[in-house]
Amino acid sequence: MREASVRLVLVLTPAGQVLAQSGFSRAVDVMSAAALAAAIVASTAELARQLQQPPFAALSHQGPKHGFFLASFTAERGSLAVLAVYDLDVSSLGLVQLFYEQLAAELKAASPKGTVAKQVLAADFERELTDSLNTLFGR
Amino acid sequence: MSTALDLITRVRGVRGAMLVSADDGIVVAEQLMEGIKGSAVAALAASLAGRLRRAMEAAGTGASVFWHLQGEQGALLVVPGGKASEGAGGGAGILVVAVAEPDVNIGLVRLELLRAAEAFI
Amino acid sequence: MSLVNFTSREITCKIVYYGPGRSGKTTNLHYVYERVPETRRGRMVSLATQTDRTLFFDFLPIDLGQISGFSTRFQLYTVPGQVYYNATRRLVLQGADGVVFVGDSQARQLDENLESLQNLQSNLLEHGVDVRTVPLVMQYNKQDLPRELILTPPELDDALNFRAVPSFPADALHGTGVFETLKRISELVLKRLAAGSPAV
C-alpha cells in the first residue's frame, strides 16, 4: 500500500462496517466513509443485477487532485470491499489496482476458514450497558 | 496498434511490448511473452515516468524522449509519447514500453519504439 | 451484522429506522444528533433530494463508550420511506442488527404504515432474515397532532404491533419518545449480542 502512495484505505463489510483501516485520523470519519462506500458497492451491485450483468469488479473516480478506487471481492466468509484514496500526483489508478490485487489475495489467504468458536461477552455486560445508556440518553 | 507492437516484438531479444496510459498506468495494448506481468510493469513504469519527468524538469533538460534501464537479466526501454512541447507540462499521453533480453540491440529497439510513438500520437 | 472485534475490543451495531414516507425517521436522527454530546457522535450524513426527502439514507454514528471493556458504537441509518425507493431501502436494511419502525400516527396514514411493515418483512426475507427474529421496536410518531387526526397508541398497537414488541408514543420534532425508543432498541440489540445468539 505504501508502494502505491495511497492516502487512505478501508477494508469493509457489505453492511458498511470497517474491518481494517489505514490513514484516517478520526474513527467517526471512517464510519461515514465506510457507510457511503458500502452504499456505492451495494447500489452498483443492484444496478448490475437489474441489468442482468455479473457484479462490477471495481469503480474508479478521479478529481483534479485525488482519485478513489472502490472494489469488492469474495473471501471465505463473505464478500469484502476495499476503498482507497490516492493522490494523482504521486500515484495512479494502475498502481492502486496493482496494490489492490495483492491486498485482496492476501486477505483471501488470511481469512479464517469455516466458522470460528463463539466467544461470550462478560457477565457484567448488561449492567454496564444500562449504565451507559442512562448516561448517554439522560433518562 | 498491434502492428506497431508487432514491429517492436519482431526485434530479436525483445520479450514484450506495451502501450501504457502515462496518466493512470494502465495497459492500453500489449504483446508479451508469458511470465511478464503487464499490469505491474505498466503501473510501475508510468509511476517512474512521472518521477523522471520531474527530475528532468528540475535538471533543465526538458522532457525525456527515451530511457533505458539495464538489469542483469534484461532491459526495460521506454519512449514517452506526446510532443516534447506538451510532454513537460501536461504529462499526457502514452508510454511505449519494451521488455528485452540483456543483450538486445538497443538502437534497433529504440528506433521501433520511436516509430510506434509517432504512429499513435 | 454486528461486528464484535475481540482483538481491538470494539463492538459496532447497525440500527435501521424504517417506516413510511414522512413518518419522521430523519427527524429522529436529527434530534439524536442535536442532543448527543459532540464527542460522542460523528458527522451526520444525509443523502437527500433537493426537497429534503431521503434519497438513499441518513447515517449517524454514535459512541456508547466502554461497555464491559468494549468500545461500543452504534450506526443509525434511516431508509427512504417513499414507496418507489424500495431497491435502496432493501440495500440499507442489509446487515441490520435492529430495526425501529417509525409509524405515522395519523389515522389516514394507517394503510401506509401497514404497507411499510409488510415491505419490511419482505425485504428482510430477501436478505434471508425472518422478521420475528430481529430486535424490533415500534415508535408511533406525531402524537402531538390534534386528537381527532390521530390514533392512540393502544389503537396503533392493535393495528400494527402483531409481535407485541416494545412500542413508544413520540413527537420526534420535539424529542418526546426519541431517546426512549433508541435506548430500548439498543438494549435489545446488545442483550442479544451478549447472549451470544448470532445476529442477523
pLDDT in tens, C13-58: 999 999 999 999 999 999 999 999 988 888 888 888 878 888 888 9
**Chain A: closest CA distance from residue C88 (Å):** 7
Domain-located, residue C171: yes
User: Residue A61 has which C-alpha cell?
Assistant: 473516480
Summarised one tens digit per residue, pLDDT across range C85-100 is 898 899 999 999 999 9
CB contact under 8 A, B26 and A93: yes
Domain-located, residue C32: yes
Summarised one tens digit per residue, pLDDT across range C165-183 is 999 999 999 999 999 999 9
- A with C: touching (≥3 Cβ pairs within 8 Å): yes
User: Residue B94 has which C-alpha cell?
Assistant: 502514452
Instruction: Round the average pLDDT of chain B to a whole number and report it.
Output: 87
- Substitution target from A12, A18, A28 for chain C, most C beta carbons within 10 A: A28
Dist. CA C151–CA C159, nearest whole Å: 10
What pLDDT score does B88 carry?
A: 40
Q: Which residues of A touch C196 (CB under 8 A)?
A: 118, 120-121
Instruction: Round the average pLDDT of chain C to a whole number and report it.
Output: 90
Q: How far is CA A111 from CA A103, C156, C176, in A?
A: 12, 47, 45
CB contact under 8 A, A91 and B23: no
List chains adjacent to chain B, taking adjacency as at least 3 C-beta pairs closer than 8 Å: A
Are A36 and A55 in contact by the 8 Å Cβ rule? The answer is: no
Longest dimension (CA), chain C: 55
Complex ipTM, two decimals?
0.73
Count of CB contacts below 8 A, A vs B? 40
Domain-located, residue C48: yes
By Cβ distance, the residue of B20, B21, B40 closest to A98 is B40
User: Residue B66 has which C-alpha cell?
Assistant: 527515451
Among C135, C55, C127, C52, residue whose Cα is nearest residue C101: C135
Dist. CA C7–CA A134, nearest whole Å: 27
Q: What is the CA radius of gyration of chain B?
A: 13
Domain-located, residue C200: no
Tell me whether residue A25 is exposed, middle or buried, using C-beta atoms within 10 angstroms of its C-beta: 0 to 12, 13 to 18, 19 or more: exposed
User: Residue B47 has which C-alpha cell?
Assistant: 509511476
Residues 83-112 in A contacting B (C-alpha not used; CB under 8 Å): 88-95, 97-98, 101
The values of phi and psi at residue C94, to 5°, are -55, 125
Q: A109 vs C170, which has greater pLDDT?
A: C170
Residue C102 has pLDDT above 50, yes or no: yes
User: Residue B92 has which C-alpha cell?
Assistant: 499526457
CA C43 to chain centre: 18
User: Residue A83 has which C-alpha cell?
Assistant: 476503498
Helices C25-35 and C178-194 cross at an angle (nearest 10°) of: 90
**Chain A: closest CA distance from residue C155 (Å):** 26
Domain-located, residue C113: yes
**Chain A: closest CA distance from residue C68 (Å):** 5
Q: Which residues of B touch A98 (CB under 8 A)?
A: 39-40, 43-44
Q: Which residues, at least 6 apart from C76, have a Cβ–Cβ distance to it below 8 Å? A: C15, C17, C29, C32, C58, C59, C60, C61, C62, C182
**Chain C: closest CA distance from residue A113 (Å):** 17
- Substitution target from B21, B23, B24 for chain A, most A beta carbons within 10 A: B24
Domain interval for residue C95: 4-195
Residue carrying C-alpha cell 482483538? C7
In one letter, which amino acid is B61? Answer: T
What pLDDT score does C69 carry?
A: 81
By Cβ distance, the residue of A62, A92, A101 closest to B46 is A92
Q: What is the arithmetic mean of pLDDT over A124-129? A: 74
Q: A89 vs B14, which has greater pLDDT?
A: B14
Dist. CA B100–CA C195, nearest whole Å: 64
Check which CATH number belongs to the domain holding C103 and give it.
3.40.50.300
- Interstrand relation of C3-5 and C10-18 (parallel, antiparallel or unpaired): antiparallel
Summarised one tens digit per residue, pLDDT across range A21-47 is 888 666 557 888 888 898 898 888 888
User: Residue B67 has which C-alpha cell?
Assistant: 530511457
- Total number of domains constituting chain C: 1
Summarised one tens digit per residue, pLDDT across range C111-168 is 999 999 999 999 999 999 999 999 999 999 999 999 999 999 999 999 999 899 999 9
Give strand pairing partners of C60: C76
